[in-house]
Amino acid sequence: MSESVANNKSIPHESAHLHVTGDAAFADDISQLEGTLFIALFTSEKAHAKVISIDTSAVEASPGFISLLTTEDITGSNDCGPIIHDDPILADGVVSYIGQPIFAVIADSFLNARKAVKKAKVIYQQLDAVFDLNQADNNKSYVLPPMMLKKGDASGQLDAADCRLEGQFKVGGQEHFYLEGQIAYAVPKEDGCLHLWCSTQHPTEMQHLVAQACQLDANQVIVEMRRMGGGFGGKESQSAIFCCIASLAAKKLNRPVKCRLDRDDDMLITGKRHHFDYDYQAAFDNDGKIKSLQLKMLVGSGYSADLSGPVVTRALCHVDNAYTLDHVDLGAYCCKTNTQSNTAFRGFGGPQGAFATEYIIDNIARCIGLDALDVRKLNFYGKTENNITPYGQPVEDNVINELVAELEKSSEYRSRRKKIEAFNQSSPVIKKGLALTPVKFGISFNVVHFNQAGALVHIYTDGSVLVNHGGTEMGQGLNTKVAQVVAIELGINPKRVRATATDTSKVANTSATAASTGSDLNGKAAQDAARLIKNRLILFLAEKHAIDKGLISFANDKVHLGEKVIQFNELIQMAYEARVQLWSDGFYKTPGLHWDQEKLVGSPFYYYAYGASVSEVAIDTLTGEFKLLRADLLHDAGNSINPAIDLGQIEGGYIQGMGWLTTEELVWNDEGRLLTHAPSTYKIPAVSDCPAEFHVKLFKNQNVKDSIMRSKAVGEPPLLLGFSAFFAIRDAIASVAEYTIHPPLNAPATAEEILNAVDYCLNS
Ligand code: MTE
Ligand code: LUZ
Ligand code: MOS
C-alpha cells in the first residue's frame, strides 16, 4: 500500500547524530544515584586450584572500603550458565581458570575498590590444569557429549575415489573487543525489587539469572538496555556474571552498585570465539569434485559449556558452506580446558565450520593444479538438484552460482590472476596472492523456540510514534530498521518514529539479539503491532465516511480515502476522540522450522544468506608481513531495508573476519595466563588495515521467503567474507614453490605463521 515512503531508504542510523557528538548514552553515562557504590573483582591467579584461604584484612582496612561480596552472600543459586548449570558467578572452593572471579570488593569509588582488591591474599593448592585440546580429547574431558553429523557413506567413498588428502590445521579464537566493556548498574527498588541497567544482548536472560541469584521473582527485576557499544556475541551470555554480581551487591547493601570492567579485566575474565583444531580426510575426483569428507573438530570450549552446544551445532551445519557434500562424517568434541569459557561470536561457530571446507578445497585445487575458484564452482550447490545439506534441509534459495559469476566478472578475477602470476615471476621478495571465497549462512536460531519476538507500538495524539521491541541495539542499526518498518506500515516519515530502550517490563520473554535475527524477528513483530493499529484506523474511517476499506491508504504522512486526503496527525486526533485504541502489541514466530538436536537433522533455517569476496594481498617473504591491497565484496541482503546500514555491516563483517584470520592472535603462557589482554598485545584491524581499493556491493535479490520486506539478515554472514584474505595470503605463500606445496598455514596468519609457512615451502 504505502511501501514507497521509506522502503529501501538509506536513512542515517537513528543514533548517528548522538554517536558523533558523544551524546549517545551508554550504561555508564546514566546519571548515578546518590550513594552509588563500585565494584572491583578479585580474579583467580591459578588456572586450576583449590582455594585454601582468603585473607582480606588489608582489603577491609583500605580507604573507601565498604563491603565484600563472597559466595556466602549468594542467597539464590550461584550459577549464571545460559544452558547448563556449570558456570558459577563466584568460584566456590575451586578455581578453573586464571581470571575467574572469586570475590568482589565494594567501595565508595572505582579507584578505591581497585586499590583495595589488590591487597587480598589468596592461598591456593594447585590442581592439574589442561590447556591443550588434544590432551583434553585424550582424557575424554569434554564440557558436553561429542556431536556427530553423518550422511551417506564417507569411508566407502573415500576408498573408491581417484584422489585423497589428509591433514591437520587450526583456527584461533577471537576477542570481541567491543568498544564499550561489560558493565552493569543495579539499583534496589521498593519491596525487594531491582532495576538493572546493563550492556547486554539478552535482557530477558539477565532478568532470569539475576532473579535466580537473588531469590526474586522475574517480576521483581527490570532490565533496561538502551544501546551497547558493540556486542558481537560477547554480551549474549557473558554479561550475566557482571549483572549478577552488581545485583547481589545491591541487594546485600540496599544501595545502588555499579560493576564496570576495565579492558584488561574484561579480556581476562570473559570468553572469546571458540578456537578449533581440525583433522580431516577428503576424497575427490581428478576434476576436483568432492566425494567424501571426514572431519574431526576439537573445539576449545574453555572451562564450562556456556553456548558451546548451539555454537558447535552451527559449526557442524556450516561445514558444507556453499557446497554439495553427500558423504560426510563430521565429529565435534567440546574440549574442556582451564581457560575462559568461550562463547558466541559473530557467526556463532558457522565461520569455524565453513573455514574447514574452504581450507580443504584450497588444498584440493593445488593437488590437481586448478584455480581454487574452479574447484569451488564445481562443487557449489545446485538450484533444484544436488541441493540437500548434510543435515537434510534442502537449499531452496541458492544464488551462489550467479552471485559468484557476477563477482568474478566485476572483480576482474581472471585477468588479475594472470597479472599476479606474472608479478610473482619477477618479484623475488614481495609475492602477491588472490582468492575468491563464497558464503552461505543459515538464518534462524538453531533452537527453534528462540525464533519468536514481540513489540509494542504507541501512537500519541500528536501523531508521533514510539516503538519498543525485544531486540537490542549494538550499533548494527536494528532500531533504525524497526522504526523504518513501522513508518512504512503507517505511511509516515521514519523521523516520526522513535525506538526506545529495550525493557523487560515492556516486552517479556525475549530472545537474545543474536543469530542475525534481530530485524527479521523484531521487524515482523513491530510490523504486526503497527498493522493492528492501522487496521483499527481503517475500520474507524470506513465507518465514519461510509467508504469501502479497500479505498483507504496511508502514504507520505497522509491518509487517502478515495479522493479525500487527510493528514495523519488529524486522523490520529480524530481517532483518539472517537476512543480508538492507538497502541498495540505485536508478535511474530518464524514459520516452518524443525530440528532434531539428537540426530542433527531437520530444517533449522528459514532461509540462507549468500555472499562472496575477492581479496588480493601482498606478502613480504623476508618479514612475514602482509598488506591487503584490494577487496571486492558482493553480498545478498535480500531486498535491503536500509542499504547504507547493510553495506556498513558487510564492510565491518569482512574486516572483522579478516582480523580474526590474520592478526588477532590470542596467546596464553604455560601457566594458562592470557598474555594478550590489551590492545598493546592483541592486534585488531585499524583504519590503515582497510584495503586501499574496497568495492562493496549488494547483490540484487529478494528473499524467496516472506521475511520482513523480503530482506535478509546481514549481521553475521559477512564475517565469513574475511576468508578470502586468509586464502589470498596462502596463495601468495604457495607461489614461492610454484603452487605445488600446501603451505602449512594456521589461522591467524600472523607474520610468524606466514614466515614459517614460506620457509616450509622453500625448503620442502
Ligand atoms: N554490528 C555492530 N556494529 N555491532 C555489533 O555488536 N554484532 C553482530 C552483528 N553486527 C554487531 C554488529 C552480531 S554477532 C549479530 S548476531 C548481529 O549483529 C545482531 O544484530 P541483528 O540480528 O539485528 O543483525
Ligand atoms: N543458536 C544460533 C543459538 O544459531 N545462534 C545463536 O546466537 C544462539 N544463541 C543461543 C542459542 N542458540
Ligand atoms: Mo551474534 S554471535 O549471534 O551475537
Q: What share of the chain is helix, strand, coil (3-state, %, to 5)?
A: 35, 25, 40
What pLDDT digit, counting tens, does each position of 549-580 carry? 999 999 999 999 999 999 999 999 999 999 99
Closest to 695 measured CA to CA, from 443, 416, 422, 320: 416
Instruction: Decide whether any atom of ligand 2 lies within 6 Å of the 512 Cβ.
Output: yes
Any idea which residue has 557528538 for its cell? 21
pLDDT at 4 over 50: no
Which atom of ligand 1 lies closest to the CA of 514?
A: 16
- Rounded to the nearest angstrom, the distance between the alpha carbon of 346 and the centre of ligand 2 is 10
DSSP-based three-state secondary structure for 152: coil
Is pLDDT of 6 > 50?
Answer: no
Q: What tens digit of pLDDT does each residue of 359-391 get?
A: 999 999 999 999 999 999 999 999 999 999 999
**Catalytic-labelled residue, pool 716, 738, 752, 753:** 716
Q: Using CA positions, which residue lies closest to atom 11 of ligand 2?
A: 310
DSSP single-letter state for residue 380: B
Query: What pLDDT score does 739 carry?
Result: 97
Round to whole Å and give the CA distance between 644 and 642.
Answer: 6
Residue 423: pLDDT band (50, 70, 90) is very high
How far does residue 345's CA lie from ligand 2's centre (Å)?
A: 10
**CA–CA–CA angle 538, 544, 549 (5° rounding):** 35
Nearest CA to ligand 2 atom 4: 445
Cα separation values, 408 from 377, 401, 576, 611, 615, Å: 11, 11, 57, 12, 12
Ligand 2 within 6 A of CB of 494 = no
315-331 per-position pLDDT tens digit = 999 999 999 999 999 99
Residue nearest atom 11 in ligand 1 by C-alpha distance: 232
Task: Check residue 8 and give its pLDDT.
Answer: 60
Q: Is 716 a catalytic residue?
A: yes
- Residue 350's closest CA among 432, 233, 455, 449? 233
* DSSP-assigned beta bridge partners for residue 634: 612, 697
Mean pLDDT score across all residues of the chain? 97
Q: Which ligand is closest in space to the CA of residue 315?
A: 2
Ligand that comes closest to the CA of residue 477: 1
Percentage of the chain beyond pLDDT 70 is 99
The model's pLDDT over 242-299, given as tens digits with 9 standing for 90+, comes to 999 999 999 999 999 999 999 999 999 999 999 999 999 999 999 999 999 999 999 9
How far is 253 from 108, CA to CA, in rounded Å?
Answer: 12
Residues in the chain, total: 764
Query: Is the CB of residue 632 less than 8 Å from the CB of residue 614?
Result: yes
Alpha-helical segments (H) within 369-466: 372-379, 400-410, 413-426
Model pLDDT, residue 7: 55
Reported as a single tens digit per residue, the pLDDT across 43-80 is: 999 999 999 999 999 999 999 999 999 999 999 999 99
How remote is the CA of residue 5 from the centroid of ligand 2, in Å?
A: 34
Cβ-count burial of 303 within 10 angstroms (0-12 exposed, 13-18 middle, 19+ buried)?
buried
Q: Which of 237, 307, 608 to mutate to test the pocket of ligand 2 (most atoms within 8 A of CB)?
A: 307
Hey, what domains does the chain have and what are their CATH numbers? 35-128+182-260 (3.90.1170.50), 130-174+272-380 (3.30.365.10), 452-589 (3.30.365.10)
Which are the contacts of 559, defined by CB distance < 8 A and separation ≥ 6?
491, 537, 541, 552, 553, 565, 566, 567, 568, 571
Burial string for 510-549 (b: 16+ CB within 10 Å, else e) reads: bbbbbbbbbbbbbbbbbbbbbbbbbeebbebbbeeeebee
Pick the closest to residue 399 from 374, 422, 380, 375 (CA basis).
380
- Say how many Å lie between the CA of residue 380 and the centre of ligand 1: 28
Which residues share a beta bridge with 333? 298
List Cβ neighbours of 288 (8 Å cut-off, separation of 6 or more).
364, 365, 368, 370, 374, 375, 378, 379
Which ligand sits closest to the CA of 232? 1
Ligand 1 centroid to residue 719 C-alpha, Å: 11
Ligand 1 atom with minimal separation from the 348 CA: 14
**% residues pLDDT > 90 (the chain):** 99
Q: Is residue 201 in contact with ligand 3, taking CB distance under 6 Å?
A: yes
Residue nearest (by alpha carbon) to ligand 2 atom 6: 515
Residue 684 has pLDDT above 80, yes or no: yes
* 286: number of Cβ within 10 Å: 10
Is residue 178 within 6 Å of ligand 3 at its C-beta? no
Asked if 341 contacts 348 with a C-beta cutoff of 8 angstroms, the reply is: no
Question: Nearest CA to 482 among 531, 524, 533?
Answer: 524
Q: What is the pLDDT of residue 633?
A: 99
Query: Does the pLDDT of residue 161 top 90, yes or no?
Result: yes
Q: What pLDDT sits at residue 5?
A: 43
Provide the pLDDT for residue 338: 98
Within a 10 A sphere around the Cβ of 738, how many other Cβ atoms? 9
In terms of Cα–Cα distance, which of 382, 278, 270, 369 is closest to 326?
382
Average pLDDT over residues 399-422: 98
The separation between the first and the last C-alpha atoms of the chain, rounded to the nearest angstrom, is 67
Closest ligand 2 atom to residue 82 Cα is 10
> Band of the pLDDT at 1, cuts 50, 70, 90?
very low
Ligand 2 atom nearest to CA at 447:
12
Strands 121-126 and 49-55: antiparallel
Q: Is 490 exposed, middle or buried (0-12, 13-18, 19+ CB in 10 A)?
A: buried
Let me know the angle formed at the C-alpha of 682 by 308 and 759, rounded to the nearest 5 degrees. Answer: 95
> Of 202, 348, 445, 520, which is best to mutate to test ligand 3, by the most ligand atoms within 8 angstroms of its C-beta?
348
Instruction: For ligand 3, say whether the CB of 346 is within 6 Å of any of its atoms.
Output: yes
The whole-number pLDDT of residue 63 equals 98
* Atom in ligand 2 nearest the alpha carbon of residue 604: 4
Closest CA to 488 of 585, 583, 554, 561: 554
pLDDT(163) > 70: yes
Ligand at shortest distance from the CA of 306 = 2
Helices then strands, counting H and E runs in the chain, come out as: 19, 29
Please tell me what DSSP assigns to residue 191.
G
Could you list the beta-strand ranges (E) of 449-574.
Answer: 452-459, 465-469, 497-499, 502-503, 552-555, 558-561, 564-567
Distance 506 CA to ligand 1 centre (A): 22
pLDDT of residue 459: 98
Distance 730 CA to ligand 2 centre (A): 31
Ligand 3 in reach of 344 Cβ (< 6 A):
yes
CA of 327 to the centre of ligand 2 (A): 26
Rounded distance between C-alpha atoms, residue 288 and residue 540, angstroms: 65
* Cβ contact 463:534 at 8 Å: no
Residue 710, pLDDT above cutoff 50: yes
